């Protein structure tokens, strides 16, 4: 596949589709390119420097004697879905 350009965009979806079409190399968060990596439409490249990890996710709520059930349910949901490995990073080759 021949890579050609130039292309400039500030939208991850547009950049992903351009990379799939052979328009160049894209550096995007895995949640944008995960499906393309899983299907083999895109391949990962080894970087000279490891990527900078994103900021951690924190649940902040007002202190009190009891935590409202809806707050506890949201915290449990976030912990289950965005634990050590986010859902979009699972099964990426």
Q: What is the DSSP string of 4-26?
A: ------S-HHHHHHHHHTTS---
pTM above 0.75, yes or no: no
Closest CA to 71 of 2, 82, 63, 26: 63
Alpha-carbon dihedral 4, 14, 90, 39, rounded to 10 degrees? -60
Q: Which residue has the tokens 């900078």?
A: 52
Tens-digit pLDDT profile for residues 35-62: 999 999 999 988 888 877 777 778 888 8
């Amino acid at each position: 596949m021949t890579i050609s350009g130039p292309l400039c965009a500030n939208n991850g979806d547009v950049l992903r589709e351009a990379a799939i079409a052979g328009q160049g190399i894209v550096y995007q968060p895995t949640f944008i390119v995960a499906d393309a990596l899983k299907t083999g439409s895109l391949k990962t490249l080894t970087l000279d420097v490891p990527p900078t990890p994103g900021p951690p996710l924190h649940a902040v709520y007002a202190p009190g004697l009891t935590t409202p059930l809806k707050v506890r349910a949201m915290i449990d949901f976030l912990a289950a879905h965005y634990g050590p490995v986010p859902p979009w990073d699972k099964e990426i080759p």
